[in-house]
Amino acid sequence: MNKQEFQRTIEEYVHREPFCPFTIELSTGEEILVRDPKALMCQGGAAAYIPADGDLSLFDYHAVRDVEIKSQP
């Protein structure tokens, strides 16, 4: 994923109405579940996610393998 795709995809998912949780899969295999769009900050190809539990995730577009809507159970 390049910088522009990353920024565009994150913005699209964060501003989706109604909001749907989504996952960001990193190249390490780690998955970040974004449940609160206000907890995700993205600028210049880098992002920080700070959910209510305070478990900070920092990553940039180089580390992102995929971004997808979380399946509803």
- Quote the CA–CA distance of 21 and 13 in Å, as a whole number: 8
Total number of domains in the chain:
1
pTM exceeds 0.85 for this model: yes
CATH number at residue 19: 2.30.30.100
Q: What is the residue range of 14's domain? A: 3-69
Whether 62 shows a pLDDT value over 60: the answer reads yes
- Bigger pLDDT: 63 or 72? 63
Whether 56 shows a pLDDT value over 70: the answer reads yes
| Residue 45, pLDDT score | 93
- Quote the CA–CA distance of 24 and 34 in Å, as a whole number: 8
